[in-house]
Amino acid sequence: MTHTTNDPRGGARTWQVRVLGSWHLETQGREIKVPPREQRLVALLALVGARRRSVLAGMLWPDSNEARASANLRTAAVELRRRAPGLLDAEQETLQLAGRASTDVAMLRDRLRAPRQEVAPAAEAGYLLGVEELLPGWYDEWVVTERDRLRQGVLDRISTVVRRQMEDDPADALPLARAAAELDPMRESVHRALATIHLLEGDRVAAWQVYEDFHRRSVREFGVAPSAKFEELVEPMRAERRARRTTGGPVPMSGARTAMVSGAGVRRLR
């Protein structure tokens, strides 16, 4: 939610700070340009909220001594008050964005914390797949740490939505599961869900391909084979392939066996 407040220098203003996809600051529909140093201060405050000035200075200038880092912070805050009056709330010891400033990262965090039953799976899936990377091209430690945390949060939420959709309609879950597998090619639970959906849809060839691709990548990257859960899920297909090689012809998997494998896979993914 965006709040409005009267600022004696800037009038009634709202502020929108964007840090997902790119850095962007605007007020009343007008973009505000600020130098890179001030951009970093705004971005940090958007991510961590109110903090002591000494903490902010140390995070922004970790290679500078305390006096120099504090001086840099004071200069950045003064410049922001000049270019974006009313954006900062400054106390003697702390600094934060004003209550009338909204940020896209706060909106994302709220969505990730929202009770799952309050959001329709289709709408949530569309939102999650549209989430952009936090400040791409920025490599400050505090950016990299939060970027990884947000990415994992989004992927965890996507996995939850996939499981919910699998229970209602596997066909609806398939596009989201594929997207999740592309976003995190090393997360086994997502690939196991994708293979399970293919099994529920009766496509054993696609399910086996998902397993093989993940197996190859996991062994190559980490020297680790898929978990026992994944192996158990595909064991009937492996047995079918062994029988086919032995007999030299197709060995169909019975409908009952397919249902048994698919149902087991769904239960284990919950």
In Å, what is the CA distance from 165 to each residue of 59, 108, 144, 176, 216? 41, 21, 31, 9, 28
More confident residue, 252 or 156: 156
Rounded mean pLDDT, 188-198: 93
In Å, what is the CA distance from 99 to each residue of 51, 87, 96, 108, 257? 14, 9, 9, 17, 59
Same fold, 5-103 and 114-269: no
- Assign 123 a pLDDT band (cuts: 50, 70, 90): confident
- Assign 208 a pLDDT band (cuts: 50, 70, 90): very high
Per the CB < 8 A criterion, the answer to whether 73 and 57 are in contact is yes
Per the CB < 8 A criterion, the answer to whether 128 and 135 are in contact is no
What class does CATH assign to 114-269? Answer: mainly alpha
Q: Please state, as a whole number, how many other Cβ atoms lie within 10 Å of the Cβ of residue 13.
A: 20
- Helix boundaries (H) for the chain: 36-48, 53-60, 66-83, 104-113, 121-129, 141-168, 170-183, 188-200, 204-222, 228-247, 255-269
Per the CB < 8 A criterion, the answer to whether 69 and 58 are in contact is yes
Question: What architecture is the 5-103 domain classified under in CATH?
Answer: Orthogonal Bundle (1.10)
- Span 210-251, pLDDT tens digits: 999 999 999 999 999 999 999 999 999 999 888 888 776 554
* pLDDT above 50 for 192: yes
pTM of this structure? 0.77
Distance CA 210, CA 182 (A): 12
- Span 108-118, pLDDT tens digits: 999 898 886 66
- Span 143-177, pLDDT tens digits: 999 999 999 999 888 888 888 888 878 888 888 88
Q: Please state, as a whole number, how many other Cβ atoms lie within 10 Å of the Cβ of residue 123.
A: 10
The domains of the chain are located at 5-103, 114-269
- Whole-number average pLDDT of the chain: 86
Per the CB < 8 A criterion, the answer to whether 47 and 105 are in contact is yes
Per the CB < 8 A criterion, the answer to whether 100 and 4 are in contact is yes
* pLDDT above 70 for 264: no
Distance CA 16, CA 239 (A): 57
β pairing state of 15-18 and 24-27: antiparallel
